[in-house]
């Protein structure tokens, strides 16, 4: 399987995040992607290539232009005021406040975010832009005939909506790739989000559409981030009704429970009969993940890949979360190796 990877992710390294009442070093750190890349090489998964540059146009198919302009220009505006620490939002237009769009940096920052988990640093735009190009290049390789590809994106993307950043995410790499498939002639794309956290951004982007089916398995929002989306009764709206499915699971869920939700997701995806599948591949479902509460073990990720392969559809894997840094490479690449092993066993090609 071809991996697309850009070193540009190193340009994004937030200093700290506020977690459980404490300022901690960011869990979403550069070594995450480094470990995954190392594992891809150690296991000889396949070639590793740098992304091509498709420009901003395919990103604008998903993200609001004003949002992109704000994100791209924020750092220059920030340092022009003499500051040099990470930009962190701290006021949001919640209930009782007005839904106006301010024009000053800190006002716009609150307007374009939903939490304090997406710091903007000097290199954040470039890193996020390159991550989107990584996803688009992997998508292009499939358009050119590859059956599968791995977009080793960092920063991740599934919490980012059209004009909202948050939860370590700025540009929704999986959504951008899904839209590119549609723009290049495919009729139906299924996104399977296996990250521990609900993919609220992806859900919001496609909620009223039937050309993208979204399925997500995640920690129940009653107890887990992002708290305000990801319930089982969110089934899509308007033309999108019936094309969104959530599997919120209890704390402590292990493979028995998780795998059953995967089977159910795959059944729904099969019914949808997509041309292609995009997997939002987070491995923060791992038992030793420092910020998550599921109990998947490393061999389970092989089975995850096998189950996805059994759908028999071209599949693009897009990296999302995973914070047990030492094991993130093993677990992510296990999914890809499980997928490839199932193909070799001849179930599908």
Instruction: Report the catalytic residues.
Output: 159
- Using CB under 6 A, count the residues that bind ligand FKS: 18
Residue 221: name its binding partner from ligand FKS, Zn ion, none (Cβ under 5 to 8 Å by kind): none
> Does the protein bind ligand FKS through residue 197 (CB under 6 A)?
yes
Tokens of 97: 């406040």
Least separation, in Å, of the C-beta of 28 and ligand FKS? 6
Q: Is 119 in the site for ligand FKS (CB under 6 A)?
A: no
Q: Could you tell which of ligand FKS, Zn ion, none binds residue 9, using a CB distance below 5 to 8 A set by kind?
A: none
Q: Is 325 exposed, middle or buried (0-12, 13-18, 19+ CB in 10 A)?
A: middle
225 or 294: whose CB is closer to ligand FKS? Answer: 225
Q: Closest distance between Zn ion and the C-beta of residue 156, in Å?
A: 7
**What span, in angstroms and rounded, lies between the C-alpha atoms of 235 and 136?**
28
Interface with ligand FKS includes 13 (CB under 6 A)?
no
Closest distance between ligand FKS and the C-beta of residue 155, in Å? 7
Buried b (16+ CB within 10 A) or exposed e, 221-248: beebbbeebbeeebebeeebeebbbbbb
User: 171 is in the binding site of which of ligand FKS, Zn ion, none (Cβ under 5 to 8 A by kind)?
Assistant: none
Contacts for 250-255: CB closer than 8 Å, 24+ residues apart: 250/220, 251/219, 251/220, 251/223, 251/224, 251/293, 251/294, 252/293, 252/294, 252/295, 253/293, 253/294, 253/295, 254/287, 254/294, 254/295, 254/296, 254/297, 255/295, 255/296, 255/297, 255/300, 255/303
Q: Of residues 321, 323, 328, 332, which one binds Zn ion by CB under 5 A?
A: 321
Joined tokens for residue 166: 């948050």
Instruction: Give yes or no for residue 282 binding Zn ion (CB under 5 A).
Output: yes
Name every residue whose Cβ is closer than 8 Å to that of residue 247 and which is 6 or more positions away in sequence: 215, 216, 217, 218, 232, 261, 264, 265
| Residue 73 or 252 having the CB closest to Zn ion | 252
Q: What is the DSSP string of 208-268?
A: T-SSEEEEEEEE-TTTSTT-SS--TT----GGGTTSEEEEEE-TT--HHHHHHHHHHHHHH
Tell me which of Zn ion, ligand FKS, none is bound by residue 168, counting a contact when its beta carbon lies within the kind-specific cut-off of 5 to 8 angstroms. ligand FKS
199 sits near Zn ion (criterion: CB under 5 A):
no
- Supply the minimum distance, in Å, between the C-beta of residue 225 and Zn ion: 8
What is d(CA 175, CA 207) in angstroms, rounded to the nearest whole number?
A: 12
Which residue's CB atom is positioned nearest to ligand FKS? 321
Site pattern 131..170 for ligand FKS (x: CB under 6 A): -------------------------x-xx-------xxx-
Is residue 320 within the footprint of ligand FKS (CB under 6 A)?
yes
Q: Which of 19, 50, 146, 264 binds ligand FKS (CB under 6 A)?
A: 19
Calpha distance 268→265 (Å, rounded): 5
Is 196 a binding residue for Zn ion by CB under 5 A? The answer is yes
| 169: partner contacted, choices ligand FKS, Zn ion, none (Cβ within 5-8 A by kind) | ligand FKS
220 binds Zn ion (CB under 5 A): no
**Could you list the residues that contact ligand FKS (CB under 6 A)?**
19-20, 28, 117, 156, 158-159, 167-169, 195, 197, 225, 282, 284, 291, 320-321
């Amino acid at each position: 399987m071809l991996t697309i990877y850009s070193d540009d992710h190193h340009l994004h390294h937030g200093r700290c995040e506020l977690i459980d009442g404490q300022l901690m070093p960011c869990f979403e750190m550069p070594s995450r992607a480094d470990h995954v890349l190392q594992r891809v090489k150690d296991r000889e998964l396949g070639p590793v290539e740098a992304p091509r540059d498709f420009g901003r146009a395919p990103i604008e198919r998903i993200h609001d232009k004003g949002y992109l302009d704000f994100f791209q220009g924020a750092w220059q505006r920030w340092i022009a005021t003499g500051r040099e620490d990470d930009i962190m939002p701290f006021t949001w237009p919640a209930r009782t406040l007005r839904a106006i769009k301010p024009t000053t940096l800190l006002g716009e920052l609150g307007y374009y975010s939903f939490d304090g988990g997406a710091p903007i640093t000097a290199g954040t735009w470039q890193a996020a832009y390159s991550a989107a190009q990584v996803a688009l290049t992997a998508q292009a390789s499939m358009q050119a005939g590859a059956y599968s590809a791995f977009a080793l994106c960092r920063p991740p993307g599934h919490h980012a909506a059209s004009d909202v950043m948050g939860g370590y995410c700025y540009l929704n790499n999986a959504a951008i790739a899904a839209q590119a498939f549609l723009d290049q002639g495919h009729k139906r794309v299924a996104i399977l989000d296996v990250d521990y956290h609900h993919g609220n951004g992806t859900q919001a982007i496609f909620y009223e559409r039937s050309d993208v089916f979204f399925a997500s398995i995640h920690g129940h929002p009653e107890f887990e981030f992002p708290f305000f989306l990801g319930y089982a009764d969110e089934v899509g709206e308007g033309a999108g009704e019936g094309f969104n499915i959530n599997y919120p699971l209890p704390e402590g869920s292990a493979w028995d429970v998780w795998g059953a939700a995967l089977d159910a997701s795959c059944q729904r995806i099969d019914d949808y009969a997509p041309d292609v599948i995009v997997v939002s591949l987070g491995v923060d479902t791992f038992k030793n993940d420092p910020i998550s509460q599921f109990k998947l073990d490393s061999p389970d990720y092989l089975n995850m890949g096998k189950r996805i392969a059994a759908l028999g559809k071209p599949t693009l894997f897009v990296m999302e979360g995973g914070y047990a840094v030492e094991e993130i490479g093993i677990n992510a690449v296990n999914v890809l190796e499980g997928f490839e092993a199932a193909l070799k066993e001849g179930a599908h090609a």
